[in-house]
Every structure is written in structure tokens, then in C-alpha cells.
Structure 1
Amino acid sequence: MTRKIATKRPRRASSPVGAAAAVVLDPASSAPLHRQVYEAVRGAIFAGRLRPGSKLPSTRALAAHLCLSRNTVLGAYAQLLAEGYLRGRIGSGTYVADALPERLLLARRGLAPQPAPSPGGADLSRRGALVAGAASPFRRAAAPLGAAGWAFQVGVPAFDAFPAIAWGRLMSRRWDRSWRALLPLHEPQGYAPLRRAIADYLVTARGVRCTPDQVVVVSGAQQAISLAAEVLLDPGDAVWVEDPGYTAARSALLAAGATPVPVPVDGEGLDVAAAGRLSASARLAVVTPSHQFPLGVTMSLGRRLALLDWARSSRGWVFEDDYDSEFRYAGRPLAALQGLSPDARVIYAGTFSKVLSPSLRLGYLVVPEALVDAFVAAKALADVSSPSLEQAILAEFMAEGHFARHVRRMRVLYERRQAALVAAAERELSGLLEVGPAPAGMHLLGWLPAGRADGAAAESAAASGVRCVALSELRVRSAGRGALLLGYAAVPEDEIAEGVRRLRTALR
């Protein structure tokens, strides 16, 4: 009699198709795409959605599933393989490791993870306490998309109109051609061809007086203001800031130990005369003269000249945040404050977050020649340099004319979306919210009836799946009628209509 030998049936791994479905990216994240893929795969492993031994999809298949370039997924897989989360089998594919690194580490040490201490209980330095206390604008987790999509998130560009094909082609070409040169490259001041492209653009489109040697590439507008505070301010120095104004700029100043002095904003922009009365010894003024955030007014020529005269006579500095000047729908874009005088004591800042995507983490400063070395040194100490590959791609994107074409397309698209928001508000929000057109920008102000609290209105809107910012959140000393900031740039027209309907329900 032949004896049957029982064999253990091998464990069946999840299919690569199912594994791809377990990798979910967060469209609201500002992290680079390769990092998002890395975190998504790693999170799926620890959540149990990808079990030990599971086969992952190929890099090409996962890239197609997520609508990303294959190089992005290759970078994420390489990091996961290096850290031991994945293992590769020649000729077979990539699999989740049977033993995860954290489990091995905890088993060896016999320890469980300890919760991080709260800032209040930690032994922080005075500077550390300032930083911890000033970080409140960044503590909020990105909210998931509501029922009305991106309605009405402020400061978010049209992700659905991102030039993905042109960007992907440039990324692939650049990587194939020069990855060996780009990987070890780190230039604290920024990739030279990108600085040339930025200078050419600013001279032509914004009337900025600069050469490529004055351009410093930074990781967005937030790093720009942080570097300016580090280079130009001592602890306790007074800084004029707009009220209402950009909260994160005030936070960066507080973290640097400076003393923000809220200055009222009227129809002509920051009130320079009032600023002098509030603090005659200010060292820096932080302004958004072309399109004041959040009120949308333009600083008058008289105020601009008065601000430059103040900086010259007091040996102070002006930080000009030109955050969304590309999007002006009536007439030509206004010339920058920096370009009004050849000896202007102005630090000019711009960003690609509003034009392309915040996940690029690329912006720029234009600084006077005498300050270039100091700003480059501060940048080098902060993070050595901004990512070389993204800078190289953006340089070619600008040099080949894609950037200018994209800006022109976005002006048309945003003007159309603004008109759709105004029309929907007229139909649905009469007596609840007063929303009128604006000549520039990516958001509108919706004014509430007198006496209505905008904070409560914003909370009601959030409960209905609509995200907006209460104007009172951006005020320090100033007061006045309540309003909601309604961002429209990222919202397709059908979602605008749905968002307005939900906003009507919330405000009623």
C-alpha cells in the first residue's frame, strides 16, 4: 500500500492587484510623492492590509494604478527594501518581509514604544518653547476631502489641471540623462539653471530688479520668512505685520523670538503711518502688497513709496510676499514693490506652491547683493539644499515655456471658477453670505450679516462637508464684520455648486 505523505499547504499571499488597492495616497499631503508612496506602503504593512509574505505589484503596475511616474515608485521601493520592510526575489518579484524591523527591534530590547512627551512637560530651551508655541497653524491634520471635494479650501491650486504629462516627460528625460550628476548634487543657493529661469521670469513678468546671483531657492514661502527672520532679526526686535494677515508668517517670527506688531489694513493696504505710531523702532515689515492676504486689496503707490522711505531712513527691511501675483484677471499683473527703486531694502519672496503644487516644496527669495552670502549660509544650515531633481525638472519646465503656458491656462480656469462661485452664491446664499467678484487671487471673501460670528459659521460649514476659514482667525487686534474665506481654485464647477448648496444648509 502506498502511503500518502501529508504536505503542508503553503500560505496563500494576497494578490498584487489587492496589494495595489491597499496603497492609498493622501491628496492633501504636502510631502513629496515618493515619500507618500513609502509611507502608504509602510502604513499598509503595519495596519495589516499588506500581510507578511504578500507579493507587491511591480513598480510599473503600481505607478499606473496611482497615476505616478515609475521613478517615483522605484524610489519608494528602494527605501523600503533598504530598511527591511520588503524583500526581493530575483525573477519573482517584491514581497513584504516576514519579520518587520520594528518588531525585531522591540523583541531584542524588550521595550514597548513610549509616548512622546508633551511640549509643556519637556525640558525645552527658551527658543524651543517659542517654536513649540508658535507652531499652532501647522498642528492641524489635513482634513479628508468632504462631500463637496475641495470646496472651499484656501490656498490650494487646481490639482486636476496640473501639467502631469509635460512634467512626467521632463522627469523621465532628466532622470535618464543625468541622474548620476543629480544624485550627489547639493547647491545651497539653488540649482544654477533654475535660478536663471526664475530671474528671467521675474524681470519680465513682475518687474523685479535682479540677477540670478541674487536668487536663493528655498523650500517654500514658510522657509523664506524663517530665513529672513534668522538673518535680519535679533530676539525682541519689532516687526510690522498685516492685521488681518497670514498667520504662519507671524508664527515664524514668534519662533525666531521677534515681536510681531499687528498693523491695520485698509483699502490702500498696510497703514504705514499707523505702523510708525505703533512701533517706531521696527526692524522689518512683512507685507503682501500686490494682493493682500486675506482682504485682497492692493497697496497704493503712496503707501508703497512711504514703506520704502521708512526702510531707507530707519535701516529697516521690507519682506515682500508675492504669493499669488500670477492670477490677476483685470489688466496686467502689478509690478513688484521691490522693483520701484534700485536701492530698495526689500527681500522679495515667491513660491511655486500656488502655481503648481505645494508638494514640490520649492520657492525663492531675491535678496540684495550684500545679503546673499548670509542667506545662503542660513539655507545651508537649515537643510543644506532643496531637492536637486525637482529643481532640475522645474528649470527645464520654465526654460521650455511650459510654466508660462500653464500660468495662462490657470488664469482662464480660475477666472471661470470664480465666476461660477459668484453665480452660485447669488442663487443660493442671498441674505446668508455676500460674495462678490475680485480682480485677482484664488479665494473670495463671503461677508456674513452684521452680528453673525464667522467662527461658528465655519464650524457649521465643516460639519456639512465644506472647508473654509473664518476671517476672525486671521485677526489679532482688528475687528469688524465676520466673513468666510472661500477658495475656488481647486474646485471644479460641479463641486462649486454642491459646496454652495451645503454651505447654504450650514448657514441656515
Structure 2
Amino acid sequence: MLDFTLDPAGSEPIFLQIAARVRSAIAAGEIAPGARLPSTRALAARLSVARGTVDAAYAALAGEGAVLTRGSIGTVVSGAVGARPGPVGHTPFMFGAIPASDATPPLPFRVGLPALDAFPQRLWSNLTTHAVRGFQAADLAGSETAGVLALRQAVASYLGAARGIACAPGQVLVTAGYQGALTLVRHVLVRAGDPVWLEDPGYHLCRQALETAGARVVPVRVDQDGLRVAAGVAAAPRAKLAVVTPTHHCPTGVAMSLPRRLELLAWAAEAGSWILEDDYDSEFRYSGRPLPSLKSLDRGERVLYAGSFSKTLFPALRLGYLVVPAELAAAFLRAARLTSLALPALEQTVAAAFMRKGHFTRHIRRMRHLYADRRRALAAALQTVFGERIRLEPAAGGLHLLARFPGAADDTELVRRAAAAGLAPSALSPLALAHDCGHGLLLGFANIAAEEAEATAARLAGAIG
């Protein structure tokens, strides 16, 4: 069963090749409805690919309804006995179902969330009231496509002071978070079939978003110095775009070294390519000197810089920003008119006031100290509870810890056990596309108070064994 070969040099991503082969086998009746597919680990070993690649293939098939995931039983072919599913063509949106969210408090270890308990809600409420009272009739008609000018001015000022980025408000577009920025980049810079470098392992939603645009994703290995530029050049020397997280790699937390940054910029200038810098979590660094942004080193104007308020303020705000080279500003404004029209003016006005009055800088400073305490407390608690059964891989910044458990079950199984106990860590291995990064758990610490760290670590130990 599932005896096939892959074409690493083909234009179609490996995970889509796997999904197509499995789909064809189902359609031909070679795999009966109800039959169990090989485990992701077994199939990855058989095909000599990363396990995350097979995970992505199975997720695509599950999104189509071709297979079902049944916990400990594994992945099985759907359909009634004797039925033969017809062939299903690939569409850009054939990904696994997105779990519904709710308004319950965040579960321990959930990644990607700031400390919601420490946000100054009363101050934000007062600024909101003041903004509403100050609105004129013209303000109710809608906001500018690029974003409220006051917020774009505040962002440009902040980036100049905090990240060394010299930009005019006309180069700043307010977006619906990072995904909104990525949508604009896709529309303006990426065409179907264009090769795009992505860090491997990397942010899965970024990969999926690019694939919906028909981009040919080129996974590029990340090591202790960040993206291996030479590997990217060997795989796709004229890639249209490289998407990177140089300050705090998602998910390992490593920072791209200065030589690698300069090498990446030199490649982009020589190849005429673009770089999208996702500078998430750059505000939260706990050791060493702050790292310059890649954009601040960009003399050739090849870098687009994306930031978000989701982790510095709160995710429900759904505001981010994109800084583009001056020569691209008009094209991005046209794309914004076609894709998003304009974001709500009230939230932008409040965020602008929060920054202009100095509250943003003070909030970041307070959160940095709070996160350092919570990070230190959780790391110590995990080491105490697990002892030699855990290995924490240090990172200078960010809002999560990377923990490895030598000799334990694979990380997706550990996540399943933790979820059953009301905990929400994330697995590392499924984030790899072509290069195995091993197994580990991503443990968010922002919403775990220091005094709760040991009890929470004990809950995790009880859940995963």
C-alpha cells in the first residue's frame, strides 16, 4: 500500500505530491474505505521526508474529506464500505479545519498570546471614550485606505526610535494583523509559480497563505545562525521573495547572525528579489543587546517590514502594519483598495493615541520585565519538576520556551495528552516541511503567573508522563 516515488525537483510541493498519490490510490480502489493509512512517522521514513511534510499532506486530505483522523486509531480512509471516492482536484483552501475559538480564558502554555491579565484595560477604555467624543461627522464616513494618518505617523516615529527604521508615514500601511500584511505582499509581489523562500521549520499559516496564491514554496533550513542563505540560493537562486523572522525565528527562537543578514541583503540586491521581515516578538528580548532590524540595514530598499499589535497589545485588536519601499507605496495602496478597503477608524485612533501619549513605550517596558519574571519562573519550575527528562533550548527573547523530552513519545502525542488535561502546548515537528527539526513542545509562558509556574509544570508532567 502507498508504494510510490516523489519528484523533489518538481514544481509541486512535496506534501501536495504525497496527497495526490494517496488520493489517486483511494480513487482507484487500492485503499478501501475504512482502511488505516500508515502513521505520519512511518510514511515519512519510507519516503525519506520530514514528518511535517506528511502531516501537511494528511491535513490536506482531511480538509477534502478524503480521510478522517480518529485519535489513537490513526488516519483512515473515509466513505461507506464498498464506496469508491471519486478523484478530488487540489484547491488552494484544502487545509485542515480551523478550530473554533471561544471567549474562555487562555489555556496554560498557549503560544502567541501576550499577558492578557496585565493589559491596561481601564486606560484603553478611557482613550476609546475620548476618541469617540472627538469624532466629527466626516470621521464616520470611513478611514483612509492606508490607515488613519495619526497611527501611521505614530508607527513611523516608533520604528525610527525603537528599530532604527527610517520611513515616512506614506510608506506605512495599517493592516489586519500580520496576515493582512502578507495578503498585500502576495497580491503585489507574488505570481503563480513564483519561487518563495520560507524558513524551515516555520510559521504554517504563512506557508498556507502563500500556497493559496500559487507560489512555489521553497523550504530553506534554519540553523543556529538563522536562515541558511546559501541553501536558499542553491534551491532557488532567483526566488521572488524570502520571508524571514530574523530577530526571533518562529518557532525555534534563534536570531539570524549579522553575517547571515548581510548575506541575505546582498542576495536580494543581486537577484532583484524582495524580503519580507516579520519582526514579531522583537520588543521582548531578555538578554544581550537588542538586535537591529533587518530593515535598518537595508541600503538597497529590498526589505518590506511587517509588525503587529497582537502581541504588544492584544490579538482581538487585529491591527498590524507594513512598511514598504517608497517605490512600491503606490502599488501597495492600490492593492489595499482592492483587498481590504479600510480598517475601522476607532481602533486605529485609539492605538494612535496610546502610542502618541507614551503609553505604548511604557507598556512594552512593563511587559518586558513581567515576561522575564514569568519566563524565569516557568523555566525553573520545569527543570525542577522534570529534572533530566527535559531539555530547554534557550532563546534570548520571545513569549514561549522550546522544551525537548529525550526518549519521550513524539510531540504530537504529547500535545494530545496535554490537551486532554486542559493544557495547550504546541508541537514542533509538524512545523517542518522538508528538514527534520526533531520533536519538542512550544510552551507559552506569558499568561502563567510566576506563583503558578510550579503547579502548572506539575500538571504538564502529570499529563504527558
Equivalent pair of 1:241/1:287 in contact (CA under 8 Å): yes
Higher relative contact order, chain-length normalized (CA < 8 Å, sep 6+)? 2
SS in 2 for 1:182: helix
Comparing 155-164 with 427-436, greater Cα deviation is found at 427-436
Aligned residue for 1:503, secondary structure, equals helix
Q: Is the 8 A contact 1:220 1:351 kept in 2?
A: yes
Q: Residue in 1 aligned with 2:194?
A: 237
Determine which of 172, 177, 181 is the counterpart of 2:129.
172
Structure 1 vs Structure 2 CA RMSD: 1.9
- Distance of 2:241 and 2:270 partners within structure 1: 13
1:286 alignment partner, one of 243, 266, 288: 243
| Aligned-residue offset at 1:133 | 1.8
Whole-angstrom CA distance in 2 between matches of 1:324 and 1:447: 22
- Secondary structure of the residue aligned to 1:183 is helix
One-letter amino acid of the structure 2 residue matched with residue 139 of structure 1: I
Q: Deviations over 1:273-296 (max 9, x none)?
A: 011111223110000001111111
What is the CA–CA distance in structure 2 between the aligned matches of 1:245 and 1:304, rounded to whole Å?
Answer: 18
Partner of 2:209: 252
**1:460 maps to which residue?**
417
Q: Which residue is equivalent to 1:27?
A: none
Whether the aligned pair in 2 keeps the contact of 1:432 and 1:504 (CA below 8 Å) is no
**1:276–1:221 CA distance, 2 compared to 1 (3 A):** same
In structure 1, the residue matched to 2:428 is 471
Gaps of 5+ in 2: 1-62, 67-88
TM-aligned CA deviation for residue 145 of structure 1: 5.3
Corresponding residue SS for 1:253: helix
The one of 369, 375, 381 aligned to 1:418: 375
1:141 aligned partner: 100
Task: Please list, as runs of the form range in 1=range in 2, the aligned pairs for 1:191-270 lying within 5 A after superposition.
Answer: 191-270=148-227
CA–CA separation in structure 1 for the residues paired with 2:246 and 2:324: 17
Partner secondary structure for residue 108 of structure 2: coil
TM-score (norm 2): 0.79
Q: Deviations over 1:214-250 (max 9, x none)?
A: 1010000011112101110110111000011111110
How far apart in 2 are the matches of 1:287 and 1:391? 27
Instruction: Give the counterpart of 2:392 among 435, 439, 445.
Output: 435
> C-alpha displacement at 1:437, in angstroms?
4.5
Q: Structure 2: how far apart are the matches of 1:405 and 1:333? A: 17
Q: Residue 423 of structure 1 aligns to a residue in which SS?
A: helix
Q: How does 1:59-458 map to 2 (within 5 A)?
A: 130-134=91-95, 136=96, 139-142=98-101, 150-178=107-135, 180-435=137-392, 437-450=394-407, 452-458=409-415
Is contact 1:444-1:487 (8 Å) kept?
yes
Greater Cα offset, 422-431 or 178-187: 178-187
Q: Does 1:503 align with 2:464?
A: no
Over residues 2-28 of structure 1, what are the superposed CA-to-partner deviations in whole Å (9 max), with x where a residue is unaligned? xxxxxxxxxxxxxxxxxxxxxxxxxxx
Amino acid in the other structure paired with 1:196: Q
Conserved 8 A contact 2:192-2:213: yes
Q: Residues of 1 paired with 2:310 and 2:436: CA distance?
A: 30
- Measure, in 2, the Cα distance between the counterparts of 1:380 and 1:498: 50
Equivalent-residue separation in structure 1 for 2:367 and 2:443 (angstroms): 18
| More deviation, 184-193/425-434 | 425-434
Q: Deviations over 1:86-116 (max 9, x none)?
A: xxxxxxxxxxxxxxxxxxxxxxxxxxxxxxx
Structure 1: how far apart are the matches of 2:453 and 2:176?
Answer: 31
Residue equivalent to 2:83: none
Contact 2:201 2:437 in 1 (8 A): no
The whole-number CA distance in structure 1 between the counterparts of 2:174 and 2:286 is: 28
Identify unmatched segments of 5+ residues in structure 1: 1-117, 122-127
Equivalent-residue separation in structure 1 for 2:448 and 2:343 (angstroms): 30
How far off is 1:259 after superposition?
Answer: 1.1
Quote the offset at 1:448 in angstroms: 1.4
The answer to whether the Cα contact below 8 Å between 1:151 and 1:496 also exists between their aligned partners in 2 is no
Q: Is the CA contact (8 Å cut-off) linking 1:451 and 1:482 kept in structure 2?
A: no
Tell me what 1:98 maps to. Answer: none
Aligned partner of 1:423: which letter? A
Q: Which has the larger radius of gyration?
A: 1
Q: Distance in 2 between matches of 1:393 and 1:240?
A: 36
Cα distance in 2 for residues equivalent to 1:317 and 1:499: 43
1:426-453 deviation line (CA, Å, top 9, x unaligned): 1111233222543211001001104631
CA deviation string 1:391-417 (max 9, x = no partner): 001111100000000000000000000
**Residues 480 and 331 (structure 1), Cα distance of their counterparts in 2 relative to 1, 3 Å cut:** closer
Q: 1:35 aligns to what?
A: none
How far is the alpha carbon of 1:161 from its aligned partner? 0.7
Question: What is the CA distance between 1:321 and its match in structure 2?
Answer: 0.2
Q: TM-score, normalised by structure 1?
A: 0.72
Distance 1:230 1:296 in 2: 29
In structure 2, C-alpha distance between the alignment counterparts of 1:483 and 1:143, rounded to whole Å: 27
Structure 2 Cα separation of the partners of residues 172 and 145 of structure 1: 26
